[in-house]
Each structure stands twice: as C-alpha cells, then as structure tokens.
Structure 1
C-alpha cells in the first residue's frame, strides 16, 4: 500500500492484547463479562439516583453523570475489540479509527472534567458547609458539566481534524485493542511536529491543570478535617471522600499507564521487501532507477552492493535515496557499460535483515534490434494512437538508419511489437 491519506489509507490493524490464537476465547469472555458488568452496574447507579428524590443532590448528580460517561467510553472501545475477536479479524476502517479516537477523547475529557467538579463539590461541602446550598445550585452543576463537555468536544475535534491531514506509511498496525492518538501519530509518514505540540500542550492544560485543582481541593479538605475534634466525624468525612479519591486514582493512574506504555512500547518487526528488484536492460547514456519498497519497525538501514561489493555514497554518477514511506532508490545517471552487473539491496534493523538482487545490463544504442517492416496498417492503428500522444518510435534510431529501413514507402509502417 502506498502512503496516503483518506483516499488511499482504507484501514488499520489493531493487534490487540495478544496474537496467541489460544488466548482469544479467554480474552473475549473476560472483556465481554467486564463490559456487561460495567454497563449494567452504571445503569443501575443512574436509575437509582434518578428514581430516588432524596438523591437529587449535586454529589449524586455528578455521580450519575460519571456513570453515564463510563458507559459511553467503554461502548466506544470494547465492542469493536469483541467483534474483531469473534470474526478473527484485526482490521478497523480509516473512518472508524478516527471516529473512535474522537469519541474516546470526548468521553475521557468529560470524565476528567466531572472528576474536577466532584472535587470542587467536596471542597465546598467540607470547607464551606454553611454556604454549600448557596454555591452548589442545580443550575451551576449543570453548567459545570456542560462546560466540561464543550471543552472535551473542542479538544477531540482539534486532534481529529489535525489527524486528517496526515499521510500514513505502509505499516498500519496499531499495537493496542483500540485506536489511540499516540499510536496513530507513530504510523504517520508526514510531519507530525504540529500534532505533537498540540498533544503536549492540550495534555498539559486539560490534564495537569485539573489534577492540580483536585490536589488543591483535597489539600484544603485534609487541612479542614484535621481541625475537627471528633474522631467519628473525621471518619465520616474521609469515608465520603474516599470513594472519589479511589476513582480519581484509577482514572489518572490508568491514563499515565497508557501514556507510558505508548511511549515505551515499540513493536519490532524484521524488514520486509514488498516488491523485489527487477532485472533491467537500459541503453547506455540513459538514467537508471533501481527501486523497491521496504517496511520494518524500527525503520531499517539500507545498503547497496554491486557484484557483492558495497557501493560507496560518494561514487560518481551514483546517488542513493530513501523516504519515510519505505521506498528506496539507487539512481545512476548517466549509465555506462561499466555499470552492468548484479545489484543487491540489503535492509537491516534490530529485528532482522533481508536482501534482494537484480540484474542490470547496459547496452550500446546501436545494438538495438530494428524490427522488419510489416504491411501498412490503417490510420487508426496502435502506432497512430501512440504518435498522437507524442511517442515516436523513430526517435530511438539515427536518421540514417531510419532512412535505410523505411525509405521503401512513403506511408507509415509498423512492427508486430507495436
């Protein structure tokens, strides 16, 4: 597959948690049970809060919102993994991958915002209990959730729109069970400097700032609780805040774990030559391009040899080229008889080495065989279609030879090969 954007890149491949076929049924059963427990448990929490009027308080409103977001996020990622395991496929479409990234960023950002508002709610309830009902009005609670939603949507659209401009290499494998932005950027062949700047900038703003707010809130909460003389009241306050602290720890701990794994994990694959070198017959004086596409992870180093001798980079008339898409080229211009021989391309990385060989023959132009004249064909023949496009077979021969061969008739003649 050539590098391309939406018009050329049609799908990616999710490698999942394991490529062992024997583990796939176990993973399917495990994640299906976890998904059902997550969805059903959060649905029960949401329905209980909605049905009981005594639970219509800011704390439980944020809790029900968090449960809903948890359902949405797991539904964005887990079902596709289960379907792929069931149908023995690893593919996900280009559109599906970007859509999954977009919704995952929306729900992760929204969950992050809700956790911050919950921390603020506990801070007001414990540090300013007399003003709690005045500050935490239902309208403010809804506005805080709506603000978190809008910020997360803008963040997701920004990253997704920037990913649309990327072109991708021949290696389209994502070492995860869902499409993640960090892994997607590693597959890009185009410049991702702007994307990386946005990732670090937005992660700093929407990650570090909310986390700092949560830490500040609980610092004030702990300071206020320590001033309470009653041990029973201290225990009650800590028990109320403990569940939220556990959720915050799981959320940020999982986020940091995924980030570290995405930066440290590197799939190593031996180089693979997608199209081997072809034998070439080139007239002397013409340029020659010996090229073939090669993929590998990490990107391999390339070496060219002629007749089993390494070609130096400083060799006259010879230049070596490669790009980020995996296409490697040896350019010889102009070609001489001395360039005839066997050419070998070797690609090597940490995972292995591979090579291929092709024959290059350089011949003098006067050795070219001139086909014998054939009967005249109609004006709508194949030669007519070629000459109408500016392709002239007579330009390959000298004027003297052309006169000797074709002077037998004033009309156009053609060979069987044309």
Structure 2
C-alpha cells in the first residue's frame, strides 16, 4: 500500500499471480464515518513461449536426377514456428509441384523435393521462427547426372586359324617359305603365357 502526498492510496501487486485473482474490498473510515467499494481482479495466464531449436537435423543427401528426396528434422517450439527454406541464401517457395513441406503436431518437419535436377544441387537452409526466437540448420544436396551407356548388339569374335588343317599353295605350287613361317606360328601359343591342355 502506497499513500502519496495528495492522499491517494494505491494497492500495488509487483508480480501478479493467478492466485491473486478475486474480489477486493477497500474500506476507508474515520470518526465521521466510513466508505467502501469492491472490485474484482482478473489475472490472465500468459502463454508459455519457447523458442525453436533443432533436436534432429537432416543429414547430407546424394541423389540422381529424377529422384525425389526428403529432408527431415525435429523442431520443438511454442507457439508453432513458421518454416522458411533457402537455397544458397535465396528464399524458396514451397507447397508447389516441386517442393512440398509437411509439419505435424509432433514438431516433425518433412521437406520433399520432387524430380531433382543438377541445378537443385547446393546448400539448403531450414529456419524455424516464432515470437520467442529463431533457429536454423543447413543441409547439403548433391545431384548426380545419369550416364546412359548403349550396348552394341554385335560381338567381335577372334578366330585363331589351325595351321595344321590346311596347306598353303601359290600359283607355282607349294610355297616352302610360307609353310616354314606357318610351322613357326603353329608352335607358338595363340596368347602369351597361356598353356594349352592336352585334353582339349
């Protein structure tokens, strides 16, 4: 209770609590009589605010072009935070055909990027904001291009001639020099270091 120089009486609650709510009666009296009045005090409970913070952060992601990737994180906060998404410090719009964001009541946030392409490669920043504060995390996305290889339908077959199965004739009859060179070739294995089996 404070009384000013002008005679004003003040009842002050420095820190009001919920149990301070109720009816109060003020009575002033002297030898000439008394006067009183009653008032009701309402105390509204203040919402407990908690800034967002990341319990779980998404890991680095590697994907091929055309795939759908998912970034997951767990961000508790009160009140529920607003989510911002950036790529290389540029703001991105989500909940479209390319990027979808899901936020459930368990504080889990899932970000889907459909049909990723090489330009989607880069650093992504996920930020959670509410009245109590802000928290951010970063995740790297690497997108690799698919290399298409065409297999040829034709196969190249190497045939090693068996010199002993035919003779070499020239226009003038048997060419002994060619036979000599063929005999030398016959005693050499078709592949260096490869021994032929007698059973074959």
User: Structure 1 length normalisation: TM-score?
Assistant: 0.25
- How many equivalent residue pairs? 113
Equivalence map 1:216-231=2 (5 Å): none
| Structure 1 vs Structure 2 CA RMSD | 2.9
1:334 aligns with 2:115: yes
Residues 197-251 of structure 1 deviation map (CA, whole Å, 9 limit, x = unaligned): xxxxxxxxxxxxxxxxxxxxxxxxxxxxxxxxxxxxxxxxxxxxxxxxxxxxxxx
**Alignment pair present for 1:357 and 2:138:** yes
Query: C-alpha displacement at 1:364, in angstroms?
Result: 1.6
Residues 87 and 122, structure 2, Cα contact 8 Å, conserved in 1: yes
Cross-structure match for 1:347: 128
Partner of 1:286: 67
SS in 2 for 1:275: coil
1:12-411 correspondence to structure 2 within 5 Å: 264-313=45-94, 316-366=97-147
For residues 286-329 of structure 1, what are the alpha-carbon distances to aligned partners after superposition, in whole Å with 9 as ceiling and x for unaligned? 10111211101111111000110110136541122211111112
Would you identify which runs of 4 or more consecutive aligned residues in structure 1 move more than 6 Å?
none
**Matches of 2:127 and 2:110 in 1, distance apart?**
12
Distance in 2, matches of 1:297 and 1:399, equals 56
Structure 2 portions without partners, runs of 5+: 1-41, 152-200
Kept in 1: contact 2:95–2:101 (CA 8 A): no
Cα distance, 1:277 vs structure 2: 2.2
Determine which structure has the larger strand proportion and give its number: 2
Higher helix fraction: Structure 1 or Structure 2? 1
Greater relative contact order: 1 or 2 (C-alpha under 8 angstroms, separation 6 or more)? 2
Q: Distance in 2 between matches of 1:314 and 1:328?
A: 13
Matched residue of 1:338: which SS? helix
Q: Deviations over 1:357-403 (max 9, x none)?
A: 01000002339xxxxxxxxxxxxxxxxxxxxxxxxxxxxxx895xxx
Q: Judging changes above 3 Å, is the alpha-carbon distance between structure 1 residues 286 and 265 closer, same or farther for their aligned structure 2 residues?
A: same
User: Which has the higher Rg, Structure 1 or Structure 2?
Assistant: 2
Runs of at least 5 residues in structure 1 that lack an aligned partner in the other structure:
1-256, 368-397, 401-418
Kept in 1, the 8 Å contact 2:124–2:140? The answer is yes
> What is the CA distance between 1:340 and its match in structure 2?
0.4
SS in 1 for 2:53: strand
